[in-house]
């Protein structure tokens, strides 16, 4: 009887141990949803942003620009938010951030977001949203100098429209 009890305890303990190991593997998969798209090594990418802004009738926009840049990790976490507000454009509609923003890509699903917001005479706001995925970085970043994307933005109102 005693041998059967010991054998029963050993078998029960073995099953309990195996069950705990299986549930641990399942928890690891749930905790790290980005595991499958992780890069083998990280890459630091500097950006310098510029833009040319035009009204709907192709007249250069001369006015204030609100700029925001941030990174969204593959799991949705937001990091590295920077804002520039009320930065004027030049007479030819040109705008330059004047800063270098560096973001680390450690996953194929990491994205750097750039948003330009304008206060319009007839609308509350107009936003121009741009995304820089790892695929873009892989294609254009040489590693020697910052990526320097230039945006060409056409606003949805004409230069002749005035505030109401």
**What pLDDT, in 10s, does the model give residues 78-119?**
999 999 988 889 999 999 998 999 999 999 999 999 999 987
Q: Are residues 23 and 92 in the same domain?
A: no
Q: Are residues 80 and 108 in the same domain?
A: yes
Question: pLDDT tens across 108-154, in order?
Answer: 999 999 999 987 665 557 788 899 999 999 999 998 899 999 999 99
Question: pLDDT tens across 35-52, in order?
Answer: 889 988 899 999 999 999
Checking if the pLDDT of 4 tops 60, the result is no
Pair of tokens at residue 71: 């990174």
Q: What is the pTM of this model?
A: 0.74
Q: Are residues 25 and 76 in the same domain?
A: no
Give the residue with greater pLDDT, 151 vs 28.
151
Q: Are residues 100 and 20 in the same domain?
A: no
Total domains, the chain: 2
Give the integer Cα–Cα distance in Å for 135 and 40.
15
Give residue 34's Cα distance to chain centre: 15
Tell me, yes or no, whether 74 lies in a domain.
yes
Alpha helices (H) along the chain: 2-31, 134-140
Q: Are residues 42 and 108 in the same domain?
A: yes
Q: Are residues 59 and 24 in the same domain?
A: no
Tell me, yes or no, whether 160 lies in a domain.
no
Checking if the pLDDT of 32 tops 80, the result is no
Q: Are residues 109 and 127 in the same domain?
A: yes
Q: Are residues 54 and 134 in the same domain?
A: yes
Q: What is the pLDDT of residue 156?
A: 86
Structural domain of 149: 36-154
Q: Are residues 20 and 77 in the same domain?
A: no
Q: Are residues 63 and 113 in the same domain?
A: yes
pLDDT above 90 coverage of the chain, percent: 52
The continuous run of DSSP H or E covering 70 comes out as strand 64-72
Q: Are residues 26 and 87 in the same domain?
A: no
Tell me, yes or no, whether 159 lies in a domain.
no
The 10 Å Cβ neighbour count of residue 152 is 10
Tell me, yes or no, whether 11 lies in a domain.
yes
């Amino acid at each position: 009887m005693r041998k059967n009890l010991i054998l029963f305890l050993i078998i029960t303990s073995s099953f309990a141990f195996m069950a705990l190991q299986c549930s641990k593997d399942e928890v690891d998969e749930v905790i790290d949803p980005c595991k499958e798209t992780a890069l083998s090594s990280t890459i630091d990418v500097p950006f310098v942003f510029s833009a040319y802004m035009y009204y709907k009738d192709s007249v250069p926009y001369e006015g204030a620009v609100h700029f925001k840049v941030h990174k969204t990790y593959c799991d949705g976490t937001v990091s590295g938010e920077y804002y520039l507000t009320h930065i004027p454009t030049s007479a030819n509609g040109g705008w330059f951030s004047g800063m270098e923003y560096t973001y680390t890509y450690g996953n194929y699903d990491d994205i750097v977001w750039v948003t330009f917001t304008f206060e319009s005479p007839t609308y509350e706001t107009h936003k121009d949203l741009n995304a820089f995925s790892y695929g873009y970085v892989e294609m254009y970043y040489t590693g020697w100098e910052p990526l320097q994307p230039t945006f060409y933005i056409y606003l949805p109102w004409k230069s002749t429209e005035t505030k109401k």
